[in-house]
Structure 1
Amino acid sequence: MVSSKQRNLILLLLFAGWAIGNFDRYFINYAVLSITEDLQLNPASTGLILSSFFAGYALMQIPGGWLADKFGSRKVLIVSVFMWSVFTALTGAVWSMASMIVVRFLFGIGEGGFQPASSKMISQTFPSEKRAWAMSVMLSSGGIVSLVVPLLSAYMLTTIGWRMSFLILGGIGLSITILYWVFVKLPAHLKEEELKTEMESQKGIFKQILKTPLMLNLFIAYYSIYAINWGLATWLPTYLVNVRGLDLVSLGWAQTIPGLAMLVGIYLAGYIIDRLPLGKEKIVGAISSVAIGVMLYLMFNAPSVTVFIVYQTIVLLFVSFVILLLPAIILKRLPSTVTGTSMGIANTGGQLAGFITPLAIGFIVQAFNGSYNAAFWMLIIFAVICTISLLTLNYRKGQLLQDAA
């Protein structure tokens, strides 16, 4: 097993990489207010831009996971961070809606390999009883980013503008690429050549993964919870400005509280999941999904912005728990030799949701003349679907994969 010092360094770098990737994904939800004005876009076109990243990201999930299992997580991580950094910088150089869509799509392709490769890296370097905690640390960077992005976005957009902001973010990403190249290294017994040989000895395992009821349920659950997460993340800034009447600075301050809730929720989830009795995690996840649906209904019926933010904060607490629970199930229930592929398959559902949901909300809002009520009902339905998927999780075939490994 990897030494404690080395695995903590790897986890710190995974945290940094996930943070800068998430910053870009959250930042564009605020930058799109300026981009829409500069490029003269309607709601449907805005939704297409917000969704284009997720099209590439979803498309790369399974190939990214397979590549991590086949050639090693380190190589995929380095290539992934390099590619997304280049296309983040190029986002600041676009000149039309079409060029923006292409660049964001390629950005998604670049980032697509990071999540399955980082999950595999965690499964290789951390013992089973600490993997949910390690995953919570890495994913908590998204919570920290969601906390600082609203205020930092308002400052960046009103001072240096969205184009220069993306150029700077791309430069930071390239710096992290160099750190990965230098410091993210596995010990001799986990060399990439050995990992390749290990995978070649398990021919047919990919088909077994696809056929497991466990993976089908996780795919649906991933889709549902990320439809809620990215539906809110991509459109709430526009909703709060256009419907609730907030200005950009007020919006930034208002969103710090839900961002803090998401951060706390992720850390708390990591602590709880590692201590739940075997098989009970799906019950707790289903209860969380029910709570999400109830809070979403209360959100769009909230009489004031303050009450709206309170409900949003509670929603994000439960969303963060489910978002961590799903990869933790894979890390704990499936062998590390197929973690990358399994995570890629499941996370494809989440990123397809990230592509479809913002686009769908854009068309819904336009069709209902600016009303978001139907969009909120769509998210509530996804909470119900997530509940059913978790309650019907079948662990038996997951154990067969463990036995096959």
Structure 2
Amino acid sequence: MNRLTSIDRRVIGTTIRKASRGLPQHLLRNVAHRGAFWSLIVARVVYAVNWYNIASIFAPMAIELKTDVSGLGILASSFYFGVVLFQIPGGLLAAKYGPRRTSFAGIFLASVSALFTGFSSGLGEAAALRFIVGLGMALFFSPGVSLIARYYRKGSEGFGIGLYNSAFDLGGALGLFGWALLAEVFGWRQSLFFSGGMGIVTSFLIIVLIPKEDLSGDSPLKLKELSDVLLNRELFILSLNILGQNVGSILVGSFIVYYLETALGVGYELAGSAGALFLLMMLAFSPVSGRIYDRLKDARRLLLVSGLVMSAGVGLAAFGGVYGAFAATIIVGISAGLGFTVGFAAARETNKSQVKYESLAIAWANSISLSAGFWSPVLFSLVVSSSGYPPAWLLGSLLTLAFVLSILALKTKARAESR
């Protein structure tokens, strides 16, 4: 068995080296980390495919499962419930058993559940499986951030996290557009078999390519240390800012295409390109944002700028018709790339004295920020129904602004010390 694993490592490692020639190798702590780096990036892409593809294949699903748009809402709510509920358990598992094992367990569980969703015979089964997909993704996210940051040299960790976020945006685009085509050609069930199978493969890449961790010297988890992480004032302020960034990005990402089609009379193809543009802006700007953060190390200023720009971008959708909507898509995409990359890089650094709790800090920030996914779309929809889109976009802008301004409570001195 050990010999087979060694052979697998050499074969996979050769493939990784050929694929990674364009990677800035000098930023990695060790050239040997290339395989680990790429295993996380590939897993993150497939992770995002299984996050987004249900939305793109739901039309044929709804026919077979005998449901309507309310069924999509149930699937989305079940998924987000799993993602948010298990962020903290994921961080605790990473602290106790290491991020390598936790990330493997998460992506494997999410992928198997995504595959089995293709066998669903009713909405209830599909909702239960989507909950487990969300659970697995919660276990993968924060350990993945922690691992990928460790593989980059000191002062370049933000760039690594930016690439990790870009991989999610790439996978999201594939899930939204590629899986709609796969479902049309092969069927929605087969498309889920494919994405779930891809995820299972990436989980084994992680366990083969990521070096084993030495946990023998780690002390047991202590309540005092856990409370120091979860009650950290700096981390809570960062989390509120990221929540505000999530409000703006969720509203634009969820509603801009439908808004262009129904309120502004734009054709499906052109309206759909707005959704792609949003993801492409995030994809392109996340690594750039990481490098900016690595150089400036000023989370307060960068998160304030990204939050203010995002708030203005969301508000712009209320004015200017089609041009205003497309401008809002570009602005919010760029600011989201900056805000999320800087936010999670800074969240990771709030507990530098307790390295094993990095994943927990990131998970706590992510669970707070993802809570926006529960209430902001519902509130936006209610305002649209009662008053129309312009007031709803303006409300979204104000809500974004209210949360991102929390970063003003972050002391500049504290950030400088945590560097």
Q: TM-score, normalised to structure 2's length?
A: 0.83
Per-residue deviation at 1:245?
4.6
Per-residue deviation at 1:144?
2.1
8 Å contact kept, 2:252–2:329:
no
Confirm whether residue 226 of structure 1 aligns to residue 250 of structure 2: no
Aligned to 1:344: 363
8 Å contact kept, 1:76–1:117:
yes
Per-residue deviation at 1:216?
1.6
Structure 1 counterpart of 2:359, one-letter code:
G
CA distance in 1, matches of 2:32, 2:215: 17
Number of residue pairs aligned between Structure 1 and Structure 2: 390
Aligned to 1:185: 211
8 Å contact kept, 1:154–1:252:
no
Q: Greater relative contact order (Cα 8 A, min sep 6): structure 1 or 2?
A: 1
Aligned to 2:351: 334
CA distance in 2, matches of 1:16, 1:331: 22
CA distance in 1, matches of 2:391, 2:115: 35
Q: What is the CA deviation profile of residues 363-397 of structure 1, one whole-angstrom value per residue up to 9, with x for unaligned ones?
A: 555x549x544543442133212321222124777
Confirm whether residue 284 of structure 1 aligns to residue 302 of structure 2: yes
CA change 1:146–1:387 in 2 (3 A) is same
CA distance in 1, matches of 2:344, 2:37: 16
Aligned to 2:102: 76
Helix, strand or coil for the counterpart of 2:119? coil
Helix, strand or coil for the counterpart of 2:359? helix
Q: Between the two proteins, what is the percent identity of the paired residues? A: 19
Aligned to 2:126: 100
Per-residue deviation at 1:362?
5.3
Q: Which of 399, 403, 411 is matched with 1:382 structurally?
A: 399
Aligned to 1:10: 36
Structure 2 counterpart of 1:68, one-letter code:
A
Confirm whether residue 293 of structure 1 aligns to residue 308 of structure 2: no
Aligned to 1:163: 189
Structure 2 counterpart of 1:349, one-letter code:
I
Per-residue deviation at 1:85?
0.3
Helix, strand or coil for the counterpart of 1:192? coil
Aligned to 2:326: 309
8 Å contact kept, 2:348–2:358:
yes
Per-residue deviation at 1:151?
3.6
Structure 1 counterpart of 2:147, one-letter code:
M
Q: Where do 1:4-403 residues align within 5 Å?
A: 4-36=30-62, 39=65, 41=67, 45-186=71-212, 190-194=213-217, 197-200=218-221, 204-245=224-265, 249-276=269-296, 278=297, 280-304=298-322, 306-335=323-352, 336-361=355-380, 367-368=385-386, 371-373=388-390, 375-394=392-411
Structure 1 counterpart of 2:373, one-letter code:
G
Structure 1 counterpart of 2:251, one-letter code:
G
CA distance in 1, matches of 2:319, 2:190: 38
Per-residue deviation at 1:66?
1.0
Q: TM-score, normalised to structure 1's length?
A: 0.86
Structure 2 counterpart of 1:386, one-letter code:
F
CA change 1:12–1:73 in 2 (3 A) is same
Structure 1 unmatched ranges of 5 or more: none
Structural RMSD (CA) = 2.9
Helix, strand or coil for the counterpart of 2:211? coil
8 Å contact kept, 1:226–1:353:
yes
CA distance in 1, matches of 2:386, 2:267: 23
8 Å contact kept, 2:143–2:359:
yes
CA change 1:90–1:236 in 2 (3 A) is farther
Helix, strand or coil for the counterpart of 2:120? coil
CA change 1:35–1:364 in 2 (3 A) is farther
CA distance in 2, matches of 1:110, 1:229: 23
CA change 1:237–1:23 in 2 (3 A) is farther
Per-residue deviation at 1:250?
4.5
Structure 2 unmatched ranges of 5 or more: 1-27
8 Å contact kept, 2:75–2:127:
yes
Structure 1 counterpart of 2:158, one-letter code:
A
